[in-house]
């Protein structure tokens, strides 16, 4: 149901909701960036719509709300263990359409890929999602190529237009709170084209596994993992068992983000690592995003937000890599025919 | 027939050159940054009154050689828009630079462009220029954005090296150790890992910000305040060339400005008036008076941040040829 309301009314509603929910949205963190006097836009708690950065793409995705960078799973001491308490409140997350599609990828990995991940599920079940519209495409976005530019799978859509707040609610709690506000049809803003257009090869022949194509990335990638950390569909984690320094008989198990580009990802007992070459790490990631995941789950993993291209300090373009790979696949298929 | 007061000419930022009748004009560019529209003005002076050549000075100014002493008034008139645009303090408008002792304030390119810089060196250099120029006393001040010291502040009377105090948000850290590797390989190896998290050795840390630059998740960020390492009395020269030594670490902008301004009082009091040309470098004056006496003058009324480390005493090395 659509409504027109005011920022004051909307903030009052959020104030009420904050009794039960922490509200997360992309925020500007002044001076928080990699370099001096550079801001970061990333997720943080808000109490007022004015704190939300609507005008720019966030550098980091919403995923840290559902998959904290570092999360204590349980505490242990001698013969006993205790699961870490879940947050006392649920969460409300503001996010764009591409990220909402990213949420489906996270759900697939954590809820539908074998055993249900209880730590993910207990956060996910308590989270509501509010769509942010896109009036324009941002640099490096290729959502249209990935078909993620629209979504109606939201609890609400909210757009602040001066002194008017446009709301499309799919959430009864919000409908109740907005009762009496002017009803009006509200359609989320979405883009119809991006400057970046990506063509994904239908299938990638196994022969390209060791193609020289990947060597260029081996020379350029510095294995910092930024592309993974900003990606809303990168869901890998690793475990850290901590023994408290004051008392080695007690400790905790944490899970933390992991990156297939960072050294150590493929380390195994005995010291063996099977993807030391950074070009092969690029191949692994690219193939996972636009080939392997689809074969298993039916849709591409990549949602076309372009954050990996935004962040790479070595100016490696994932989007361009896919297009070059597509050309290579076409050439290879021609040769074979 | 030329009848010149060379002392006045030199104070007007003109050089007595080896070519009889010819001088050279030195153009100040505080912080080494200017807008491109000033270049044609400098070109015009060089082509109208110089020999068509321009020398880029080591302090980031321009030196226009081949100017006739008789053309100095005309050149001063052409210098005026450059002086105005760069915001140089001037005692008598239209008369060029009214002093030359306190040299152009140099700065590396700083955080306007450089990824390593911890502060806007241009802005601080321009502030310093406003605070201390014009003055006839021979002071050399330079600003550099980080501990790489590209402007070579350790060859100056006063060198200002930017520092950031890294802020660690442990819940944003997954332990990739990019910071640890960068600090070990590119800086001073001040980071260690304990239970997968990072411990910073605050005594070793030089505030270069490599941890911040290399952190992929914003677990490391910069402190809102910029801090500075202030190094003193580096010099080149015939008798005892030497690198500047640390005086303050984690100092603030205001403390640095105050100390440099205080130093003018110290030099005025202790300078050897009999020295050739009435010129004696600050470093040699401090060598005569002892560091303790200098410090007394320098620290007069200076408010230090609680974080600031004051090195005391300060000893200098270098090569002694005297």
Q: pLDDT category, A112, cuts 50, 70, 90?
A: very high
DSSP helix/strand/coil, B84: helix
Residue B321 counted as domain residue: no
Q: How many CA atoms lie within 13 A of A106 on its CB side?
A: 25
Answer whether residue B62 is part of any domain.
Answer: yes
Amino acid A213: pLDDT: 94
Distance from CA of A34 to the nearest CA of B (A): 5
Does position B266 have pLDDT exceeding 90, yes or no? yes
Mean pLDDT, rounded, for B82-101:
94
- For A47-65, what is the mean pLDDT? 97
Query: Looking at the domain assignment, is residue B119 inside a domain?
Result: yes
Q: Smallest CA–CA separation between B139 and chain A, in Å?
A: 29
Q: Which residues contact B109 (CB under 8 A, 6 or more apart)?
A: B32, B33, B117, B121, B145, B150
Q: Are B196 and A242 inside 8 Å of each other by CB?
A: yes
User: What pairs with residue A41 in β-bridges?
Assistant: A28
Total number of domains constituting chain B: 3
Name the residue facing B171 among A69, A224, A226 (closest C-beta).
A69
Per the CB < 8 A criterion, the answer to whether B233 and B283 are in contact is yes
| pLDDT of A284 higher than 80 | yes
pLDDT at residue B240 in the model: 97
- Closest Cα to residue A141, out of A84, A193, A204? A193
Identify the band that residue A336 occupies on the pLDDT scale cut at 50, 70 and 90.
Answer: confident
B179 to chain A: closest CA residue: A224
**What percent of chain B has pLDDT above 70?**
100
Task: Say if B44 falls within a structural domain.
Answer: yes
Contact across the interface for B196 and A31, Cβ inside 8 Å: no
Do residue B208 and residue B236 come from a single domain? no
Radius of gyration from C-alpha coordinates of chain B: 22
pLDDT surpasses 80 at A195: yes
**Greatest distance between any 2 Cα atoms in chain B:** 82
Please tell me the predicted confidence (pLDDT) of residue A333: 78
Mean pLDDT of A120-146: 98
Judging by DSSP bridges, how do beta strands A70-77 and A40-45 pair with one another?
A: unpaired
The band of A297, judged by pLDDT with boundaries at 50, 70 and 90, is: very high
CB contact under 8 Å between B218 and A35, yes or no, is no
Per the structure block, which two tokens stand in for A314?
Answer: 């070595």
Alpha-carbon A108 to chain mean position: 13
- Residue B169: its pLDDT value, please? 98
Domain limits for position B185: 166-221
Question: If pLDDT is split at 50, 70 and 90, which confidence band does B278 have?
Answer: confident
Q: What is the pLDDT of residue A332?
A: 84
B104 touches chain A (CB under 8 A): no
Tell me how far apart the alpha carbons of residues A143 and A303 are, in angstroms, rounded to a whole number. Answer: 6
B73 burial via Cβ count (<10 Å: 0-12, 13-18, 19+):
exposed
Q: Are residues B137 and B257 both part of a single domain?
A: yes
A200 confidence band (pLDDT: 50, 70, 90): very high
Q: Alpha carbon A291 to chain centroid distance?
A: 19
Could A35 and B224 be called an inter-chain contact, meaning their C-beta atoms sit closer than 8 Å?
no
* Contact across the interface for B174 and A37, Cβ inside 8 Å: no
How far is B62 from B3, CA to CA, in rounded Å?
Answer: 27
Question: Of B29, B52, B85, which residue constitutes the final position of a domain?
Answer: B85
Q: Answer whether residue A334 shows pLDDT above 90.
A: no
**What's the per-residue H, E or C state across chain A?**
CEEEECHHHHHHHHHHHCCCEEEEEEEEECCCCCCCCCCEEEEEECCCHHHECCCCCCCCCCHHHHCCCEEEEEEEECCEEEECCCCCCEEEEEEEHHHHHHHHHHHHHHHCCCCCCHHHHHHHCCEEEEEECCCCCCCCCCHHHHCCCCCCCCCEEEEEECCEEEEEECCHHHHHHCCCCEECCCCCCCCCCCCCCCCCCCCCCHHHHHCHHHHHHHHHCCCCCHHHHHCCCCCCEEEEEEECCCCCCEEEEEEEECCCCCCCCCECCCCCECCCCHHHHHHHHHHHHHHHHHHHHCCCCCCCCCHHHHHCCCCCCHHHHHHHHHHHHHHHHHHHC
Partner-chain contact A68 B222, CB within 8 Å: no
Candidates B114, B145, B175: best to mutate against A (most CBs of A within 10 A) is B175
**What is the least distance, in Å, from the CA of A2 to any CA of chain B?**
37
Are residues B56 and B183 located together in one domain of the fold?
A: no
Helix ranges restricted to H, B173-250: 178-186, 210-214
- Give the residue-averaged pLDDT of B11-39: 97
Q: Which residue of A has its CA nearest to B170?
A: A70
Task: Summarize the confidence of residues A253-278 as an average pLDDT.
Answer: 95
A82-111: per-residue pLDDT in tens? Answer: 999 999 999 999 999 999 999 999 999 999
Same domain, B14 and B30: yes
Beta-carbon separation of A259 and B176 below 8 A: yes
Other beta carbons within 10 Å of B16: 14
Q: Cβ contacts of residue A73 below 8 Å, gap of 6+?
A: A83, A84, A119, A252, A253, A254, A255
pLDDT of amino acid B277: 82
The Cα–Cα gap between A18 and A200 comes to 42
Q: Which residues of B touch A34 (CB under 8 A)?
A: 115, 212-213, 215
Quick check: A220 and A314 in contact, CB under 8 A? yes
Q: At what angle do helices B291-298 and B253-270 cross, to 10 degrees?
A: 120
Average pLDDT over residues B226-238: 97
Q: What is the mean pLDDT of chain B?
A: 97
User: The CATH number of the domain where B174 resides is what?
Assistant: 3.30.70.20
The ipTM estimated for the assembled molecules is: 0.95
Same domain, B192 and B245: no
- pLDDT the model gives residue A335: 78
Cβ contact, residue pair B115, A242, below 8 Å: no
Residue range A42-55: mean pLDDT, rounded: 98
In this structure, the answer to whether residues B147 and B192 fall within a common structural domain is: no
- B170 has a chain A CB within 8 A of its CB: yes
In a domain, B301, yes or no: yes
Which tokens is B196 given? Answer: 């997968």
Tokens of B45: 């002076």
Average pLDDT over residues B263-278: 94
Contact A148, A98 (CB under 8 A): yes
Asked if the model's pLDDT at residue B134 lies above 90, the reply is yes
Tokens standing for residue A173? 């709690």
Closest chain A residue to the Cα of B178, Cα to Cα: A224
**Cβ–Cβ of A225/B216 closer than 8 Å?**
yes
Confirm or reject contact between B180 and chain A (CB < 8 A).
Answer: no
Q: Do the chains contact at B196 and A36, CB–CB below 8 Å?
A: no
A127 Cα to chain B: minimum distance (Å): 21
Both structure tokens of B263: 């130093």
Q: Which of B189, B221, B253 is the last residue of a domain?
A: B221
Residues of A in contact with B176 (CB under 8 A): 225, 259, 262
Chain A closest CA to B187's CA: distance in Å? Answer: 17
Contact B212 A68 (CB under 8 A): no
Identify the three-state secondary structure at position B311. coil
Residue found by looking up tokens 């049809």 in the block:
A185
8 Å CB contact of B115 and A243? no
CA angle A139, A297, A120 (to 5 degrees): 80
Closest CA to A122 of A69, A172, A173, A73: A73
Residue-level pLDDT at A215: 96
Residue B119 with chain A: CB contacts under 8 Å: 36
- Nearest residue on chain A to B114, judged by CA atoms? A35
Distance of CA A65 to the CA centre of its chain: 10
* Predicted confidence (pLDDT) per residue in B164-192, tens digit: 999 999 999 999 999 999 999 999 999 99
Q: What is the mean pLDDT of the segment spanning B256-283? A: 95
Q: What is the per-residue pLDDT for A7?
A: 97
């Amino acid at each position: 149901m659509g409504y027109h309301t005011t920022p004051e009314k909307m903030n009052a509603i959020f104030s009420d909701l904050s009794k039960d929910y922490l509200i997360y949205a992309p925020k500007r963190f002044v001076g928080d960036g990699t370099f001096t006097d550079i801001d970061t836009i990333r997720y943080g708690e808000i109490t007022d719509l004015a704190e939300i950065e609507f005008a720019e793409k966030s550098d980091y995705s919403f995923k840290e709300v559902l998959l904290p960078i570092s999360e204590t799973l349980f505490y242990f001491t001698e013969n006993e263990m205790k699961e870490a308490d879940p947050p006392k409140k649920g969460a409300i997350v503001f996010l764009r359409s591409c990220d909402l599609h990213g949420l489906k990828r996270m759900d697939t990995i954590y809820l539908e890929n074998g055993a249900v991940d209880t730590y993910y599920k207990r956060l996910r079940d308590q989270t509501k999602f509010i769509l942010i519209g896109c009036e324009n495409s941002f640099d490096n976005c290729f959502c249209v190529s990935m078909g993620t530019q629209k979504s109606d799978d939201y609890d609400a859509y909210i757009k602040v237009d001066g002194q008017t707040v446009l709301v499309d609610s799919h959430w009864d709690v919000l409908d109740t709170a907005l009762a009496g506000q002017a009803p009006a049809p509200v359609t989320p803003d979405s883009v119809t084209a991006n400057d970046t257009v990506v063509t994904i090869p239908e299938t990638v022949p196994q022969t390209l596994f060791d193609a020289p194509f990947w060597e260029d990335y081996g020379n350029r990638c510095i294995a910092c993992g930024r592309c993974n950390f900003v990606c809303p569909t990168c869901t890998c984690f690793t475990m850290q068992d901590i023994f408290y320094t004051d008392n080695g008989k007690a400790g905790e198990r944490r899970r933390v983000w992991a990156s297939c580009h960072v050294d150590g990802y493929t380390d195994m007992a005995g010291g063996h690592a099977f993807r030391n070459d950074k070009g092969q790490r690029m191949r692994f990631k690219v193939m996972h995003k636009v080939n392997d995941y689809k074969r298993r789950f039916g849709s591409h993993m990549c949602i076309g937000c372009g954050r990996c291209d935004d962040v790479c300090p070595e100016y490696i373009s994932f989007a361009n890599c896919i297009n070059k790979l597509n050309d290579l696949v076409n050439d290879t298929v021609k040769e074979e025919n | 027939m030329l009848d010149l007061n060379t002392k006045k000419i030199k104070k007007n930022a003109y050089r007595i050159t080896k070519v009889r009748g010819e001088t050279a004009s030195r153009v100040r560019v505080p912080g080494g940054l200017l807008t491109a529209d000033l270049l044609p003005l400098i070109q015009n002076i060089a082509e109208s009154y110089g020999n068509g050549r321009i020398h880029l000075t080591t302090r980031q100014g321009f030196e226009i050689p081949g100017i006739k002493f008789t053309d100095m008034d005309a050149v001063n008139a052409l210098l005026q828009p450059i002086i105005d645009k760069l915001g140089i303090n001037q005692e008598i408008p239209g008369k060029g630079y009214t002093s030359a002792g306190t040299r152009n304030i140099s700065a590396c390119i700083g955080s306007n462009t450089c990824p390593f810089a911890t502060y806007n060196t241009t802005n601080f250099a321009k502030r310093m220029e406003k605070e201390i120029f014009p003055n006839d006393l021979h002071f050399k001040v330079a600003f550099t954005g980080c501990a790489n010291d590209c402007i070579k502040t350790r060859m100056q009377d006063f060198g200002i090296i930017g520092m950031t105090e890294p802020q660690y948000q442990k819940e944003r850290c997954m332990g990739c150790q990019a910071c640890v590797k960068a600090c070990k390989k590119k800086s001073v190896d001040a980071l260690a890992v304990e239970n997968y998290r990072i411990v910073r050795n605050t005594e070793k840390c030089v505030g270069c910000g490599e941890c911040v630059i290399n952190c992929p998740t914003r677990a490391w960020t910069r402190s809102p305040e910029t801090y500075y390492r202030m190094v003193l009395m580096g010099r080149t020269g015939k008798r005892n060339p030497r690198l500047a030594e640390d005086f303050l670490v984690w100092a603030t902008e205001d403390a640095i400005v105050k100390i440099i301004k205080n130093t003018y009082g110290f030099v005025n009091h202790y300078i050897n008036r009999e020295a050739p040309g009435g010129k004696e470098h600050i470093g040699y004056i401090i060598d005569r008076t002892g560091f303790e006496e200098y410090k007394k003058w320098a620290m007069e009324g200076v408010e230090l941040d609680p974080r600031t480390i004051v090195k005391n005493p300060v000893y200098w090395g270098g090569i002694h040829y005297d």
